Structure 1
Amino acid sequence: MNGSSPGVEDGRDHAREQGSAVAWVESPLQMLCAVEAHHAGLLGARSRVIPRAKLRPLEVTHRELSRLALPPGLELTAPESDMPRSGRGTTGAVGDAFSGKVQFRWLTTLPGRIVIVDDGLATIRLLELLTGRMWTPLLRARGNAGRLRTALGTAAGIRLRTAARSGRLSIFTALPVPAELAQAVRDKGAELVTHDFTWLRSQPLRRPRPEERTIVLGTSLVRNGLIHRENYFTWLAGLGSAEPVAYFPHRREDPSDLARVGEQPGITVYDGGVPAEMTLRGLAAEQRVLSLPSTAVTSLRVLLSARGVAVETVDVPDEWWTAEAAPSLRSHLSMFAHHDTGVTG
């Protein structure tokens, strides 16, 4: 990934032309990447980042970002319950393109441009669906959608592909996009811009790093029913019995599971909410990060490579997976397991 790629320069040209932008964010990673997108010039000269209300991880991330030197022209606003409307002369930025709120808003308003920022693994699925046929619905990989939800996803897919064809769609990502998929997205007319957290890397470190040598990133795979709970806790217990471990929760982990993690000998659970990219970017060379397949692995490698910190993905044994983990999902997750991903910039 290359924050100074030609795509970013194109984004700066957009900013001179656009005016203003509104970014609606529903997760800490989306909020951080909206700030990066504004810094890269992909949004507008003036951008408002609006978090969804009543989500504690967003409140914590909002507070942490507000303590840093935000890019000129960017405003972090108070949370709102509903996604705001974007007018024709405004760029509308979102992270979760599969959200019913987002898709409904796309059909009831027509922003001048649409920018998609990272929302974890769902971003890769979106790119794959975007390159499909015009009538392919934008639906999440898991779950059975009813007729009305499928109809909304189909209409949203048409709207997004139409925006791509007219040069009004940009995707801003730090994720490893295979070269073939990246080219297919660009062939649809969409602008694909990669970045390496340029703004965040320029900010001073505000949080002390954990003292433990080994840091484990929490996972949503247990709560989502994709891996067996007991296998996961047996693995954690083995780590904690070998050495002290710092555990940074995933925002979707079940509170009862977190309580159980904290009861494991040798494991200390740290406060969650803030993206790992912000919390762990100050680690030292003698430390290491362990994680099950996760988008955070990719971004932390970008941020920590210069510091000599090992960021290791733990391969999930076959017996850990539940029947809910379809082969296609496992294949998606494997994209984040290795350094050599065929990434295009």
Structure 2
Amino acid sequence: MESPLQLLCVVEAHHAGVLGPSTRVVPRAGLPALRMTRRELKRLGLPEGLEFAEPSDRMPRPSRTWAVGDAFSGRVQLALATAQPGRTILVDDGLATIRLLELLVARRPLLRARARATPGRVLLGAAAAVRLRTRKPTVFTALPVPDDLAEAVRSRGARLVRHDFAWLRSQPADRPPDERTVVLGTSLVRNGLIHRDRYLRWLERLEEPVAYYPHRREDPRDLDRVRRIEGLTVYDAGVPAEMTLRDLRPDQRVLSLPSTAVTSLRVLLSARGVSVESVDVPDDWWTASAGPSLRSHLQIFAHDPSANAPRKVAP
């Protein structure tokens, strides 16, 4: 597992019985957020039959049942193309999960949205796509896969299993922040997709006490600027928002730029009456690196079916 969300979702997959009676999880070494998430999951008490191996830089050899999160990883694709696992389980890796399903249905190479399509990567991505399609994987996801895409995935023999974080819901939660408004940090600035100053100006204009939960890939220098905003408190939890914010009160709300966490927190918090609002990114926030197709993909789940429209940024 290479990200905190992947780690959480493989625990959910084991709890749901998708992986079988025993599961050995090998986290990737050298990732602080993964280490903190692993520690927090162990503190909560892992489901019976699941264990965490020591973190490793080496890709585990695929076994009878093989669960992966990032099927765009070169190491994962090499294993897909050269090894012979029995069953392959794909767990959530953010919005990339939807792109993966779209590429599998379209019979195209598995390449990230912003990846440089070198001949070698295209060849490896194509080989991995063929092997993955022939193995008819199980996709274990909390994301609302569009109906037409879900039908196409199933028609090609894959199994689509939805979940709502049942294991996490059953665990005791820490006290939520005192602030009524919670803002989720974003990686879009560091990735060069939106302008830094416009984002920081929006935070400054919220004009109310705010609990800010950074994204794990935010630039520390940007966070220093965020910490200087009056009325804003940074809660540097270091674990997925799904874990830290699952016990918010009905009088609280969450604001976020487009992210997977918007969708997963809606799944977790809808029954509690907590509003999770996606901010509609203005055109002048985007940089030249964010083309129309990428913008559309990033905002695929911005709209909450229970609301009238995504939240607009005040001018």
Task: Indicate the TM-score class for this superposition, using the shorter chain for normalisation.
Answer: over 0.9
RMSD: 1.1
1:236-315 equivalence runs, <5 A:
236-239=203-206, 242-315=207-280
Q: Which residue of 1 aligns with 2:297?
A: 332
Distance 2:3 2:62 in 1: 20
Report the CA distance between 1:255 and its aligned residue.
Answer: 1.1
1:16-165 equivalence runs, <5 A:
25-87=1-63, 90-133=64-107, 136-164=108-136
Asked if the contact 1:176–1:335 (Cα under 8 Å) also holds between the matched residues in 2, the reply is no
Distance 1:126 1:299 in 2: 18
Q: Which residue of 2 aligns with 1:5?
A: none
What is the number of residues matched between the two proteins?
306
Distance 1:125 1:143 in 2: 13
Distance 1:131 1:107 in 2: 18
Q: Secondary structure at the match of 2:189?
A: coil
Query: Deviating runs (4+, > 4 A) in structure 1?
Result: none
1:102 partner letter: V
Asked if the contact 1:57–1:272 (Cα under 8 Å) also holds between the matched residues in 2, the reply is no
Distance 1:143 1:155 in 2: 17
Q: What TM-score do the two structures reach when normalised by structure 1?
A: 0.87
Distance 2:58 2:225 in 1: 35
Distance 1:275 1:331 in 2: 24
Q: Secondary structure at the match of 1:120?
A: coil
Q: Which residue of 1 aligns with 2:165?
A: 197
Q: What TM-score do the two structures reach when normalised by structure 2?
A: 0.95
1:170 aligns with 2:144: no
Distance 2:135 2:305 in 1: 32
Distance 1:107 1:248 in 2: 38
Q: Which residue of 2 aligns with 1:180?
A: 148
Distance 1:144 1:68 in 2: 40
Report the CA distance between 1:340 and its aligned residue.
Answer: 2.4
1:315 partner letter: D
Deviations 1:83-129 (A, max 9, x none): 10023xx1110110000111111123111111000000100000000
Asked if the contact 1:28–1:273 (Cα under 8 Å) also holds between the matched residues in 2, the reply is no
Name structure 2 gaps, 5 residues minimum: 307-315
